[in-house]
Structure 1
Amino acid sequence: MHHRQKKEVPADPGISCLCSISRSSRIQHEKVNQKSFTKLANRLVKKYDIPQAAIPNLTSKRSTAFIRHLVHRRFNLKDIQLQDFDDMVKDVLKEDHATANDLIQTLLEYSVPEAKKWVDYIFEELGLIISVNLPELSPDVPANNDEWADWDAECSSSTPVPYYTLKPPVDQVIWIDTPEACRECFHRIEQERLVGLDAEWKVVFDYAPPRVALLQVAITDQVFLLDMIALCDAFQKQDLGFLLMNLMQNESIIKLGYGFDADMKVLSKQFQACKSITDEVKNLIDFDYFHHSVLPNHLYLCCNHHNGMPIKSSLNGLVEMILGQPLDKREQFSNWERRPLNQSQLVYAALDAYCLLELFWSLEEQAPNFGADVLELLKPLKQGVKAKSNKSGRRKKAKAQRSRIQGAISSYLQDQEASASIDAIAGDAKCSTKEESLCSLPARSSIPVTPASQFRVVVDTMLQGLGKHMRQCGVDCAVLDNKQDHAECVRLSLKEDRVILTRGKVFDQLRQYVPKERIYKVVEEKPIKQLQEVFGFFNVDVEESDIFSLCQHVIRKHEMYLQICNNGDFIEVPTEFMVTMLDGNSRDVVTLGNYRLDMTSGTILGASANVRLQLDHVPREVPPRVCLFYGCVSCGKIYWDGSHLGRAVSGKFRDILGMRVTQSQY
């Protein structure tokens, strides 16, 4: 792999001068590049309101970058309508003629007819001649049309994408553009418990501050679209600002937004009365913070997180995860100052606000099923302040662990060719005591008796001792090796229908991805006590015949971890046959039960694969003292009855045999 070397930038007198003016001498010139320095310059221009006339080069560079961004969105992302693209390009060209040549050069990479159209516009409207060689167009191709020009019509005629739709009828989307209608609207809003808020403004390419062109307020059965351009002209600006502040300061109304702090900053600069809106807002829930800081720890609330897809960092991604369908964002880059707005813009604006209510209602409905309360989940957000943490290392580890677990789930779904969602449900409260560890699980009286041979579990690296004892009791138990990740627990639980047994903080991570009846947090410290705890809770019935009924042989299947055979099917070999095979004096093939045994090589015939008995591990002094041997048909390990079985039955497993739920302390 070739790594691109960073371009070393020599010390620039201008940069040194700037550092001396700002009294900063700690600057590493070798790390300065054009991109980072341009970002710094743009921040300084905004912070100190430097006139654009004083920075012509920076303004031109910003305009050129915006032109390229528009072309990229139009022809690559295809999320800008033709009219909006044309309007924004014209705005840039009117302010900065120098970008015209770069526009044509960029368009030539995608569409010659489109480039020709803009060459004509620049000459006719701006009086500029572009010095560029345009390829000749075929006579059959109109100069003002190409494969991209009908993109909008093509999108509308193609198979519709199952986007999330607006629930209230369109006639309940109310346009507000007069002072009387505005006051009546706010009076109606004051009667609500819950409102969804969003704002739209025209994208600006220069350093002029944006202004809110449309404010959306959604209530239970209506959406109000406030035309801020018309209202600012008809209203006293101060009066309109006070109406907005009264709404934001009203503690009886829960206000929902997504990244609404950015909207409030624009409002604070646009209205003097809203200057302190970010500090005085009350009872605001910002789903942006919930999306990235709360939801990753409560993925059971999602209806569409099962396929291992990453968490998308937008309102569109949150709606898709919680409500099941994405939003149609094709009007996101619209010209929101154009009047009148088209029907698509009106629906887009209304849905952006109303979907916030539906997100809240969905969480409010689902959370109690998992022992959670929606207002408790959103409690840190209700003052509109985003909590910040300096524990970046822990966040990175948690994110990596979630990625591994989601990858394991995705792998399982691909193996099974599954398309249905996994009901990942679990409790919300963290468990620190024995009683709390059982809070999210079914009542013991509702759990039927399960024979040990039918109980399937997977234990993590912290419970390897428990796993060993469970296998000795005849339980099909998969045990993670020290080198295996906890994501393997989730994969095995989903693929093989196993109960996850774990302890510590790992429980809080894993329970987000599996049904609550498939995970249990072990409290006891010693393996035997843990065994009693688990068997008592899950009402597992262990009989004497279950003890040592599974093969305990360790198979080295992978370099990274060891695998236990865990097979429960054996061939019974009488002593005389065992002695004959050890001496190598037979050439016969005999039938023993459901299998045939080649006495020459000690190979079991008739199993899924011919398996050779491990005769080398049988001491020569053992056969005379044993009546019957048991050979594992999966790995060839040989067992025989000895004193260890009696000691186990009368010793450590004595309290386990015949255990019933009524006898359990757990």
Structure 2
Amino acid sequence: MQQIITNLEHMWTDDTRKDKSNRDIAQYLSNMLFRSCNPFALVLFLIDKAKDTHTAKTTTLSFFMMKEFDKWCKMNNSKLDIEKLISKDIQMKIYDICTRNHMTMFDMAVRCFHLCYHGNDHFLPRIRKFIENKKFKEAAHCAGKLGLQHHFDMSEIVLPLILQDKVNLLEVYVSGFPEHQEMLVRYLDHLCDRETDLDLVQSSIPKVSGVKMDKFQRKPLSKLAVRLLKLYKIPQDMCPNISNVRGLGALRYLLHKRFIEKGMGAGSWEEMVRGAVGDNDFMKEQLVEQLALYNELEEAAKWASVYNLSDSVIPEAVCSVRDDLISNKANNSENNISMQQDSACGDTEEDWENSCYTEAEINLSYYQLNLPLENIEIVDTLEKYDSCMTRLTQPGSVVGIDSEWRPAFCGQIQKVALLQLAVKDRVFLLDLVSLDKLFTEKMWQEFAQSFFCSSDVLKLGYGIESDLKMILRTFPCIKENMLGVKRIINLELLAKKFVLKDISPVFDEDDDSDKVRKPDGAAVDDDNSDSTGFSATAEKGLSEVVRKCFGKPLNKSEQMSDWERRPLRVQQIRYAALDAYVLLELYEVLLQLSKQQNSNIDMEPMISMKWLKPSKNEKRRAKQRGDHKQKAPKKLPARQTPVSGEPSSPKSLRVVVDTMLSGLGKQLRSCGVDVYIVEPYADHDRAVQISRKENRIVLTSGLPYDMIVGQVGYEMCYNVMCDTAKDQVIEVLNHFNIRVQQHDIFSRCQVCNGDVYLTIPSKDMELLAQRKVQMISGQSSNSSDQTVHEKVQLPELVTDLPKNSELETKFAEYGIDWTTVTVLGNGASIQTETVIQSIFSKVDTFYCCATCGKVFWEGTHFDRVCEQFSHVLGTQAKGPTVYEKLNENFS
């Protein structure tokens, strides 16, 4: 074994090695592991004896060996007798090596040497040693990875980390262990209790250094607890103190929406308040108190009566108003009689009621539904559903789509409650709360397939991706069906392609149509009407687009409603129907604009498929919860069978690769394959567009394959399995049965995918280089020969330049404009600046890409590339060089 580590260290430090990727070292180590009777003991010895093990960096040989061993174990674990090969002594030694010198290797050591198992208590003394030495970070990391949290009290590891504000380590500490996640959140809930003395808690652990008391306060602790509560999906009733904090935040938000933004109707306000308060006595009292702070004393008194709160728990001012309301109620009939008598006598007292806006007057300021209420049908039975689907799936139908769900407060789970589907003469409101009780998973799958995946129905949405994502979250059983969605347009993106700010309202209105009128007839300009909340400048999203197209915005006061409450109010029904129906009208306007502007904009653009993928935050949270599993080995899809028959040439293969596989794309170009590499940061649907437009096969990997194959079909999509570009090239060429010959190497430009080269003798390329320097230096083509010679240091044989007319004629034959040093036709600049001066005397011929102007020449680089692709080259005898072949093709 000593000889093995000697060889490895010699290879690691050998600067003369050509293979800088360390594949040769990895191969040598793999061979030694296969030969060893106990690979675990071998790796332990190698890491222990490596000279750089004490250096805790990822650039060391010891880290490289552990990383390669981790890969080796994943491939060969099923073939190894773990119980016989890994003893407790081996486990303790690798633990000591990693925790003493190289913590960066600890996670891999836990996986490779199977350190996390029931009965691994022999590691406890080591972890307690960390605690004694006040190394709480290391103690938390080791205890968490080894699953030994239950042996430690909260005050031993959790509390010190909180005091030191190292809360990110808490997530590592409980990752993958739900019971400890719950214990952690409950402990934080205990710290948030008003009865808990935080100073006393902190002083109980004097050994903790670096305490940050500003973080050990109820507000930051409650924020941390709320985040973890949501992260670990823990029911809020387990944490009453945290629940009160979150509930109060939700209540304050509702108060702001109602009384500051004035963006909630009375019905929505009442529903949402009841949902946020629930049966929590603390929240009932807080509601009344917060309303009093807003000086809404009558509203506060009303809710105090609704919840039957005693005078001792509500503000004194609210008590007084409540008493007045009770006494006034008894005198209502007498007051009404008195008001009638005053009116008959001509009393001129101001009528405050008539000075307020009526519902009808408010509606005049908003765009209204152009459909009778009886044409809106709530679909809540199987019979109504069948009738609805018969109408919606008629070929040629255009359907507006929107969905509603209840706003989430205090950790409530959000689900789509209503799905609005509008056609020209009718709006169907699918009551998903009721239908979910009647439907099976198969019925939901059939609905997704027949509606969302129908190519006969055009579907319109505004910000539709968020609706689809929420529908998928509500009904995860339809995910596979939703991979094949067709003809769905996001009007939000389509509307941005038109200059909507210059559009006059489509519907003719009176001069005062954009003004709010008071009962006395005085017109108030819309932009100055702050008190009504009708200001056009406050509109956004769909409401703003509707205002620009139709002159009035949408009334969004019902947006924050309890959409799971049944029956729905009439205001909710109108609001929901309009949000879907207006999309049909908006699309008609955009079609008219397209015709008026003679636009070539695609009026049925594909939507992005990002909604099918979990977001970065969702992935991160899954990882923090410990929900992520070790990636299963990639399996070849059932319909992804290799191409059989006679081998084909690289020129016969036309592909498009997404940005994840750009390295593979460049390698394939080097082999002569026609490759379109999608622009950086473009969505996967861009690859689908290119595939359809240019008839190219999509090369992708992982989850995007499932999304893309549903749109282009199995024949036009391939799921790449390998990880490295070199292995991916072999995989793709073998799958499509492509035979690469030597003349295929470099037959395409790696930069631009061009397959036409201009052949230029060395002397003439030197002239072009000289001309390029003249242009850069600002000198004319008639500059003195000596001056040019000094600037570019060219040999004497080219210092006597022919006349411009002769040069222009000569280089035109090559396909080059001498005056501008560009390719004739497309104007691409010839990149002579990339050619080193010494190369001119060593190379006879240069080759210039006719598409991008990149300059190539055959030399050692060509030999290296041929050697690099020796694994895919055909066995036929060496033919003409790549550039000779290209020259033949071009001429």
Which bracket does the TM-score occupy, shorter chain normalised?
0.3 to 0.5
Q: Give the number of the structure whose residues are more often helix, by fraction.
A: 2
More strand by share: 1
Structure with greater Cα Rg? 2
TM-score normalised to structure 1 length? 0.48
Structure number with the bigger relative contact order (C-alpha 8 A, sep ≥ 6) is: 1
